[in-house]
Amino acid sequence: MKLEKPRTESPFLRFVTAEYRRRGTQQRRDLSNKTYVHSLLENMTLGGQHIGLPKQHSVLTSTEQITAEVLGERIALKFAHGWSAKGVMLLERIGEDRYFDHMSLREWTLTGIREKQDAVAARFTRKKPAWIVEEFLRGAQPGAVPFDYKFYMFQGQIGMVAQIDRNSSPPRMVKLNGDLKPFIEGRDYTFKPKDLQSAGPVVPRSAVMLSRWAIELSKMTDAPFVRVDLYDTEDGPYFGEFTFSSGAEVRKTISYSPEMIAQFDQLFADAEKTLRGESVEQPQNWSTLLQSADAAALAAHPRIDLAEYQRYAYFLHNRGALGGYRLAKAQEQLLEHGGDAAVNEYLCAAHKAAARRANVKPRSTRSALFKAARKVYRRVTQ
C-alpha cells in the first residue's frame, strides 16, 4: 500500500491532529464530556425512540471511593478523561475480592484495581481525576463485551465505520465503508499489529438506527468531522461518545491509502460547505437514503430475531462465510413483515459483502508472512 499523504496536506488529518492537541470550540469541549452529553441526550428521541444510554451509577473523584459495594456484580469502570479505552475496565465479580476484567482478560483484586486507575490518572494531569461507574452492556455480537461501531461522520455523511471487538487482546478491527461494506485491509488501510489484529466484518443487527442516530448526532455539532461511537446491544443502539480527535489516526496506529484520504478530504470539504449554509450535491448512498426516509418508519424497520442473528454472527465472526449469507437471507425475509425495500436492499448487500470477505486473508498478513519467510530463507542459504 502506498503511504498516505502528509497530514499537512490533508484537511481531514490536519483537523483531527489540531483537535487532538486542543479542542477548537467550547461546544466540542462540552460534547467531549460524557456526563454532559448524557444529560443532553436523555430526553432526545428519533422516530419516537430514545437512544440507549448506559446507566450511570456514580461518579467518583478518588480511587479510594472504588469499593466492593460500588463495583457490585458486573459494572463498567471508566476514567472520565481518558482516550482509546485508557482506564476502561469491564468488571465482573468472580469471587471474594476477585474481579475479572473483560477488557484486559485479567483477574484483579480491589487493591489492584485502585492501583491501576491511579496509574491511569497519573498520565492525564490536566483535569481533576474522575471515574464513571456505569452499566456493563450486553452486545448482539459474539463475546461478553459489546462490539464498538465507530462512525466517522462528516455532517450527516458516513465516511467509514470502524468495527472494534474488544473480546480479544489486542482488539480485533475491520473498517467498513459508508454503505457498511468492508474496506480491504492491506489495500485501503493498514495498522500496527501490536495494537490491533484483523477481524471479520459483521453488519450490526441494529444497523438502520445505529446509522440514523450517527447521522443526527453528527449534525448536532459545529465540526466538519466527528467520530460517533455507538454500541449494538441486545436492546438496540446505545451511545458511547463523541470524538473529534481520533487518536488512531493521530498516532498512526492506522494508516490509509492516498485514495482513502482523498475520500475523507472530499467529505470534509463538503461538510465545511454544509456548515457555511452552502448547497452540496448529496451522493446516492446509504447515508442519503436514511436522511430522506421518515425517522419513524426507520425506527419501525424490522430486525433479525436476536437469537437467530447471534447464531449466524458467531459463525461469520469466526471466518465462516456461510454465516454472512444466512444473515443476508434472514434480512431478505424481513420484508414479509414490512419495512423499506430500499433500506433492506442495502443491508442485504452489506451482509453478502461481509460473507465474501470472511474467508479472505488480509493482504498485510500475507505480506508480513512472506517477508518473514524470505528472511529465514536468506539466513539458511547464506
197-242 pLDDT, tens digit each: 999 999 999 999 999 999 999 999 999 999 999 999 999 999 999 9
Angle in degrees, CA 301, 304, 306, rounded to 5: 125
| Correct CATH for 11-32+142-358 of 3.40.50.720, 3.40.50.800, 3.40.50.300, 3.30.470.20 | 3.30.470.20
Note the CATH architecture for domain 55-134.
2-Layer Sandwich (3.30)
Tell me the three cell numbers of residue 155: 455532517
Environment class of 286 (CB within 10 Å of its CB; exposed 0-12, middle 13-18, buried 19+): buried
Q: What is the mean pLDDT of residues 59-65?
A: 95
Give the span between the Cα atoms of 81 and 38, in whole angstroms: 15
Identify the band that residue 363 occupies on the pLDDT scale cut at 50, 70 and 90: low
* Beta carbons within 10 angstroms of residue 71's beta carbon: 19
Identify the band that residue 377 occupies on the pLDDT scale cut at 50, 70 and 90: very low
- Extents of the domains making up the chain: 11-32+142-358, 55-134
Q: Is 33 left (phi over 0), alpha (psi -120 to 50) or beta?
A: beta
Residue showing cell 480491504: 184
pLDDT at 181: 98
98-137 pLDDT, tens digit each: 999 998 889 999 999 999 999 999 988 878 899 999 999 9
Identify the band that residue 369 occupies on the pLDDT scale cut at 50, 70 and 90: very low
Environment class of 54 (CB within 10 Å of its CB; exposed 0-12, middle 13-18, buried 19+): buried
Q: Could you tell me which of 66, 134, 73, 117 has the C-alpha nearest to residue 99?
A: 73
